[in-house]
Structure 1
């Protein structure tokens, strides 16, 4: 019969006539139908009567047609079996089948009526529930789980958990109710929690599974940024608020005023919506709070250009680098180098002669092998973002290289000329100083040199005036050389003395002494001649 779950245990019947057989046990669930067998015999039977054994036997139904059943729910089937429909909890008890055939036989039956578990009450003290019923708890929080169910007899309650790390784990079981606590929730404890209630009599089991998620908000504040789309000139507003689970929601507004611009992490704006100094605010909201959310603000602005050297010089055949720096551009500007304003769209392309490097918002143009015809003139650094365009010019002069060797030679020549002039002035105004300076530079161990020049005696009686002039010159020279004795010239004898003294003055003195002795000898001779009679 559909829906009938009966576990019937029959004992051995008593062999002796008129005695009670071993009690059989039948188990059925409430609201179902059950059939209780009268012994183990089948086929035609004698008179069969069923009783309910409480404090006193109560008649239920009999095969004697003259005895109506105690209730319509009771009836007899083939071989005297008792059928009870729509079982109730009060039907649980002891029943006896009496058979009268030559002898009277008693067959006791124990009927157990099981009820439930009809429902399970699960309680999880989580932080909240999603619209679909999924529970979530904050990371690091404490979660209490309890499970309760009602049944007849009391059910056995057990907890099971299944996470992404383990297939299934048994937490424990208890009668009627079971509860436990999870301390310091972590991501590893996220999973499905199942409570099962099992009727120990009927074996009927019910389960309730609850998904428990573990959430945590981002630990830092949101960061706003703006950049230009790689495929077009549109502006992309980005709000990054990473580090939490699940991902937060975003709302972009224009400030001041609070006009809503978009509700996604990445928001695209066309250039027609932009203006200088415009501000946009991103408000991020997480399911765990804070309630007011966290926000950041980004302000857009056009680029500003500056160059440290508006005029540059390059020597022919050399290299030169032009530098351009962009400030204040948000989003970052695109930097280009141009040669002439007459062709503003003709930008300089990198090549072997033109090397362009860019780091952040600083760009440099290096020109190799400078040429007057090709490279001289104005260069323009152009910066552009969706908010505005700026340009700055740099003048490049290309000159012939300087003769460094000639310049060095000229400088050396001027220095030598100045040294010669200074030396001449010192000789002119202070010869003694120069003499002493020269002596100090010469070593004292050098030999002294004295040169005496003895001129021939000339007897020129016809020109007495010339002799007197020569004698005066000799006298003047001897007076200038360490005050030597004056020469006296008689009969055309003239001694011209020239002395060069280096170093030791003693040697000079000895030389002068010899010269003086010679002069004295000459004077004595002259005196003798004067004593002679004329």
Structure 2
């Protein structure tokens, strides 16, 4: 009994080997998507019906009548109820719906009248093409001069061929950076391979898509260009925030703040605080002082290059200092005003001071004050109302300049109490005319 079983197994194995070893009578390739209804042909002549048909998949004999639970996760439609695989009268293998995993080599063996064996080979390709395009993303590497571009197209079956290349518009693809059969492809590009205005494209190729229907995604590369207010003013003792926005670069740039002509990097702490809100990068300076005044740089860098925005901070004095300055100016103006008033009063009474009047000098009674005033008035009349002698007529025809000199008594002479006739006697005789 044991020997009989062994012989039967050997016969089966030999038959299987013979089936795969013999050249098939026909070969067919069919491409389908998950959920499609597919029929694998065996014998193509519709006038003859095979008496016995057997199907193998990659050397394994198929058990027809596979039910829904045997096939994995079928579509929810009621039309897919019942057995998923069936054998038709002409020997064809019928898939009521196809799922991932059905792809492979199928071999059919059919017995025809006259003891003729017909063998057919069918290559089934199950392809799933996502409706969306691939997704292009970037990842900043540790080295600022390099950038990682990633292209992902999940859900495609079998896996597509992804390719990163330079897009030259109507001229087509330029340099190819990477190409691989996978659903996710990452390529590291150096700064030397990139430039502003350049387009880098990822193309997804699939056997179920014609070349004209390829799916793709791309990046239009742009260098950084930070923007903000170049001049900022703050009051001493307050908090000030310097803002910088960089939203045009692709890939997005990394933004930092630096200070001074030495471009020293700002260290976050109790004095400086950094915050980011999307493309905006802000530097807050607490308790601003004169030491914080100067130039600051908003520095943006991506693999295409580096760009800086220069911001100059001016620090004003505090309000208390302004108040002291205003009070000082007011007091100085008040002192100058009083000095002007006193000067005007003194100047307006200068003749009384010179003639020994009562200005600025105390008097015992009103009578004395009146006597002095009368004396001054008498002197004024004697001095300024005296007749002026006439000059004799000129007889010489030469150019002669005549000057008449009058003597006006000084304050000291007035204090002596001399009258006008006495003053005339004591005065030296001066020449009336001076000829030049």
**Post-superposition offset of 1:361:** 2.4
2:158 pairs with 1:246: yes
- Please name the residue that 2:331 is paired with: none
Q: Tell me: CA distance 1:358–1:124, structure 2 relative to 1, closer, same or farther (3 Å).
A: farther
> How many Å separate the matches in 1 of 2:104 and 2:299?
60
Q: Tell me: CA distance 1:379–1:210, structure 2 relative to 1, closer, same or farther (3 Å).
A: same
Which has more radius of gyration?
Answer: 1
Q: Tell me: CA distance 1:290–1:399, structure 2 relative to 1, closer, same or farther (3 Å).
A: same
1:193-242, Cα deviation, whole Å (9 max, x unpaired): 9889799xxxxxxx999885532112112344445323452133333333
- Please name the residue that 1:356 is paired with: 274
8 A contact 2:86–2:93 mirrored in 1: no
- Please name the residue that 2:319 is paired with: 402
Which of 264, 274, 282 aligns to 2:194? It is 274
Q: Tell me: CA distance 1:358–1:165, structure 2 relative to 1, closer, same or farther (3 Å).
A: farther
- Please name the residue that 2:37 is paired with: 142
8 A contact 1:156–1:174 mirrored in 2: no
- Structure number having the greater strand percentage: 1
8 A contact 2:236–2:318 mirrored in 1: yes
8 A contact 2:249–2:302 mirrored in 1: yes
Q: Tell me: CA distance 1:250–1:328, structure 2 relative to 1, closer, same or farther (3 Å).
A: same
**Post-superposition offset of 1:244:** 2.0
2:305 pairs with 1:388: yes
> How many Å separate the matches in 1 of 2:209 and 2:186?
21
Q: Tell me: CA distance 1:247–1:209, structure 2 relative to 1, closer, same or farther (3 Å).
A: same
> How many Å separate the matches in 2 of 1:378 and 1:116?
85
2:106 pairs with 1:190: no
Which of 19, 30, 33 aligns to 1:127? It is 30
1:252-296, Cα deviation, whole Å (9 max, x unpaired): 333435333223332222222233322323322112103232333
- Structure number having the greater helix percentage: 2
> How many Å separate the matches in 2 of 1:250 and 1:238?
10
**Post-superposition offset of 1:354:** 1.0
**Post-superposition offset of 1:182:** 2.2
> How many Å separate the matches in 2 of 1:357 and 1:268?
30
**Post-superposition offset of 1:140:** 3.7
SS for the counterpart of 2:249 is coil
For 1:420-499, what aligned pairs fall within 5 Å after superposition? none
**Relative contact order (alpha carbons < 8 A, sep ≥ 6): 1 or 2 greater?**
2
Q: Tell me: CA distance 1:194–1:283, structure 2 relative to 1, closer, same or farther (3 Å).
A: closer
Which of 72, 77, 94 aligns to 1:181? It is 94
Which of 348, 369, 377 aligns to 2:287? It is 369
For 1:12-27, what aligned pairs fall within 5 Å after superposition? none
**Post-superposition offset of 1:347:** 0.6
2:140 pairs with 1:228: yes
Count of matched residue pairs: 274
- Please name the residue that 2:253 is paired with: 333
8 A contact 2:85–2:94 mirrored in 1: no
8 A contact 1:157–1:173 mirrored in 2: no
RMSD, matched Cα: 4.7
Q: Where do 5+ consecutive residues of structure 2 fail to align?
A: 44-49, 56-61, 73-82, 112-118, 180-184, 324-436
Q: Tell me: CA distance 1:123–1:364, structure 2 relative to 1, closer, same or farther (3 Å).
A: farther
Q: Tell me: CA distance 1:165–1:261, structure 2 relative to 1, closer, same or farther (3 Å).
A: farther
> How many Å separate the matches in 2 of 1:254 and 1:124?
40
8 A contact 1:353–1:367 mirrored in 2: yes
